[in-house]
Amino acid sequence: MSAAAQAGHRAHWSSRWAFVLATAGSAIGLGNIWKFPYMAGENGGGAFVLIYFVCIVLIGLPVMMTEIMLGRRAQRNPVAAMERLAREAAAPRAWKLVGVLGVFTGAVILSFYSVVAGWMLDYLMRAGAGRFHGMGPQEAKAAFGDLLANPYELALWHTVFMFLTMGVVAYGVTRGLERATKIMMPALAAILLVLVGYGLARGDMAGAAAFLFHPDFSRLSPQGVLAAMGQAFFSLSLGMGAVMVYGSYLQRHISIARVSVYVAAADTAFALLAGLAVFSIVFAHGMGPAAGPGLVMQTLPIAFGAMPGGTALGALFFLLVVFAAWTSAISIAEPGIAWMVENLRLKRGRACAAFGVVVWLVGVAALLSFNVWEGFRIFGRSVFDALDYLASNILLPLGGLAIVIFGAWVMRQTHAREELDLDEGWFKAWRLAARYLAPVAIALVFLNLIGLLPGA
């Protein structure tokens, strides 16, 4: 550890926009482009989207503000941050376990996230080689099936993505990453708009909009509600200290509420646009919306294969998806790495190597569950699905619950007031949401999960 780090001179973002872009880079990722469309598809569309939106505004936003607030106040990695803030509040030191849980959750998420990012790398190569040209729905489906059946191909790209991710993290987040997100995020938005334009011109955009924006609650199960909340947490990168560690690099004078609103708005817009693009293609080709995790891989190649310039555009799209996944993956690893560097006094490179190897191994188990270990089930789920379920539906809500309870109930309210620096009315609104609304909603979802609510 350097002398500067020992003395507590930590790196900081260069401006408010650098923080917003980096945090939006964390939030906008596979969760928006890959996961949101297929989850909305599996859970009946409009009603799921509505619940998701309500979760973002009423639970996600207050939790995000709380998480940034804790990080900025402590100026430490999540483990040390929770320990320091607990001491400040004269609360038990055990609160630091929230940070430990976050590090563990990060390893779980990154393992399967990297496998999916690997699919995107694979599709980037295929797109660039012109292999989408003239592709129909059957071929698109078969091509994705072939990829999943091939453990070597999956492992190759999973490995490449892990090297990319840990490589950047090893150099530190603020150097390079800041600049990369400034170019990548607007470019991704532009490409997404092109795809939405294609959906308008050639796809069934009316069908897509009706599917996503017309709520039919008879098609939403209690499990779907749970999934919507889990997805809101996942998409905003909440509940594991990723946003907390980014907040710890945030300068004092910046309004936490304002940056949180920007990030949540950008994240939601990306998810909805991706959903519109995907479903307009799905419905135009008479495909079903409930294809599951393969949905994007089986639909977008058809559009790219049919449009003029589709080879270049398709390659560009998957390149940008890789970048979106990359800027997210970095934030998933960062709490663990910052903890290993600051608390365990490991060199940053060594910390990245150790974390990377563990995550890589779990990821290999996840990718083998698509082929060699297909029959192996954990509580009725494949390894890949079990990791996703554990992280999204259990660990992230649990972490989010602890974070919001700490910020709203345990921390001194004069301190919260000081950090958030809001008008009295907005402070009260935050407090209401963080004290009651978010914890009660998360608790209800848990009760439902373990089967204690009727209808579960």
Question: What residue ranges bind ligand TRP (CB under 6 A)?
Answer: 26-27, 29-32, 109, 234-235, 237, 240, 242, 328, 331-332, 396
Name which of 311 and 331 has its Cβ closer to ligand TRP.
331
Check if the beta carbon of residue 392 is closer than 8 Å to that of residue 445: no
Minimum CB–partner distance for residue 68 and ligand TRP (Å) = 13
Amino acid 5 reads: A
What span, in angstroms and rounded, lies between the C-alpha atoms of 347 and 10? 15
Minimum CB–partner distance for residue 248 and ligand TRP (Å) = 15
List Cβ neighbours of 192 (8 Å cut-off, separation of 6 or more): 270, 273, 274, 277
Minimum CB–partner distance for residue 30 and ligand TRP (Å) = 4
Name which of 79 and 205 has its Cβ closer to ligand TRP.
79
Name which of 109 and 147 has its Cβ closer to ligand TRP.
109
Name which of 29 and 314 has its Cβ closer to ligand TRP.
29
The CB-nearest residue to ligand TRP is: 31
Amino acid 311 reads: T
Amino acid 144 reads: F
What span, in angstroms and rounded, lies between the C-alpha atoms of 442 and 447? 9
Name which of 114 and 331 has its Cβ closer to ligand TRP.
331
* 173 DSSP 8-state letter: S
List Cβ neighbours of 9 (8 Å cut-off, separation of 6 or more): none
Name which of 24 and 315 has its Cβ closer to ligand TRP.
24
First vs last Cα of the chain: how many Å apart? 50
What span, in angstroms and rounded, lies between the C-alpha atoms of 336 and 342? 10
Minimum CB–partner distance for residue 235 and ligand TRP (Å) = 4
Check if the beta carbon of residue 281 is closer than 8 Å to that of residue 40: no
Minimum CB–partner distance for residue 397 and ligand TRP (Å) = 11
What span, in angstroms and rounded, lies between the C-alpha atoms of 103 and 99? 6
Minimum CB–partner distance for residue 77 and ligand TRP (Å) = 14
